[in-house]
Amino acid sequence: MSQALYRKYRSRSLSELVGQEHVTSVLTRALEKGQLSHAYLLTGPRGVGKTSIARILAHEINGIEYSDDATDLDIIEIDAASNRRIDDIRELRERVHTAPTRAKYKVYIIDEVHMLTGESFNALLKTLEEPPAHVIFILATTEIDKLPATITSRTQTFHFRRIPPEVMKPHLRSIADKESIAIDDEALDVIALHSDGSLRDAESALDQVRHTSSGTITREDAEAMLGSVSSKRVEDLLASVQARDGATVAATLKKLENEGASALSLAKALSTKLLASDTNYETLGLIDALLEVPKSYSPSIKLFSVLMRASMPVKAVTLYAPAPVIKEPIQKPGIKKDDVKKVETPKEQPAVAEVAPEEPAAPAPVYDTQPFEWDALIGHVKKNFIALHSVISKCQYSFDGDTLTLYSKFKLHKTKLEDAKYRTMLDEAIKQLTGSTTVVTIIFGAKPITDEGLANVAAIMGGGEEVNVS
């Protein structure tokens, strides 16, 4: 059985690693000077060389020749995805105190370290912080954000990058030449773009397409095998979307689906093409929607929905300016009605541009101006803001003419009333009822007893609250 290309051409030294010179150069200098860290953290996307460097580094630290087939008792690899329990880490902590068999250092490589449980991280932390002098840890992860700061702060961290197509393509050409794979440059471009920066995926894809043709493998061969979509087809589809030609968009999607193009690869290709174009508000909205396709339960249906929605014609908008609502001014005490200046309606309204008539917008709400009354507020809230009513109906209150103070005996109710959602409802209810804005203060606890006699009784009885029984 032939060996997979990604294994056959795995890097055997730091100098052979593709596209990560910012990492290999630092590690090479550290090895030359003998300046080793007790713990390394390698982070970045999958398939870019983290595990390869971990193994190479472990061997070069000990001056051992690296071979993909050979194993060494002093280099221990642990897959955290299947050894994530606290018992596994406790066992590791016990084993680290055993001296190396023949090498200078015992090196532990923990792959996918973000998969460890919280308890396992805590168990690992002490050993990682103060390991025995003969132990070096090399951690690798694709999701550094899932690692506790206590772990990352105790390591020397290296961030790996996605490998760009222009760097990946010469490497793929080198492999193709060594394997006598006849493939044209455009087909290699398809593979490099399809791999999304992962060298391992690119090598696997080359392995996959090598037998698609008895002659030279072309762009069309690679696209058909990998389910990719040609740049021309993507451009044509985007042109139909931007032309609001929903029928053509639907027909094109159906055709691409029949040809084997996956919704995920198509969404990715469309997003990439849009990002390379002149972006505007509409374009950014479409990119954002396309990014949701891979997360969907049914990516093909989600992609169809996104593109058909983007293909809908722009709805006609009415530029409507409602006439101003003239409210009779309120007569204040001591001011005669004749002394109040009336607001006159302008004789002529400016012309309004109208594209397509729609229902006029609702006029701004007209508020009452009655004095504040607690019972009236409770009734108004019960009728119009039922969620708020369930909270404030259980509160006590005091009102000094300017400030409404609410006393909540329940911590949950206080938290809700301080939430922006409930606070907005309360402010709006008060404004609708009184026509003015009132300062609201929320206090956790019972309303203080104002009557001195009652307060003395409450003190004797060990507490209490004032209740209005009228």
What pLDDT is attached to residue 322? Answer: 44
CA distance 27 to 21: 10
Inter-residue contact 238 to 303 (CB < 8 Å): no
Q: Rounded to whole angstroms, how far apart are CA atoms 400 and 275?
A: 58
Q: What is the mean pLDDT of each run of 10 residues along the chain (470 residues)?
A: 81 88 92 91 91 92 81 86 77 84 90 86 83 90 90 91 90 91 89 86 89 82 78 84 88 83 82 76 80 85 88 53 48 52 51 48 49 85 85 87 84 83 83 78 76 52 50
Q: What was the pLDDT predicted at 448?
A: 75
| C-alpha separations of 10 from 48, 69, 87, 164 in Å | 11, 12, 33, 18
For each of the domains in the chain, give its residue range(s) and CATH number, in order of start.
5-159 (3.40.50.300), 165-226 (1.10.8.60), 231-310 (1.20.272), 374-460 (3.30.300.180)
The predicted pLDDT at position 253 comes to: 87
Q: What local confidence, expressed as pLDDT, does residue 236 receive?
A: 87
Strand partners, 406: 397, 442
Q: How many CB atoms lie within 10 A of CB 64?
A: 17
Task: State the pLDDT at residue 95.
Answer: 85
DSSP 8-state symbol, 39 = E
- In 10 A of CB 215, how many CB atoms? 7
Per-residue confidence (pLDDT) for residue 339, from 0 to 100: 53
Instruction: Phi first, then psi: give them for residue 111, nearest 5 degrees.
Output: -85, 150
Residue 360, CA distances (Å) to 80, 315, 349, 351, 444 in order: 62, 16, 16, 16, 45
pTM over 0.75, yes/no: no
Instruction: Identify the bridge partners of residue 138 per DSSP, sorted by sequence position.
Output: 40, 109
For residue 43, give every residue at least 6 positions away whose Cβ sits within 8 Å of its Cβ, in sequence order, or none: 50, 140, 141, 142, 144, 157, 158, 159, 160
Shortest CA distance to 374 belongs to which of 352, 347, 392? 392
> What is the structure's pLDDT at 363?
44
pLDDT of residue 1: 58
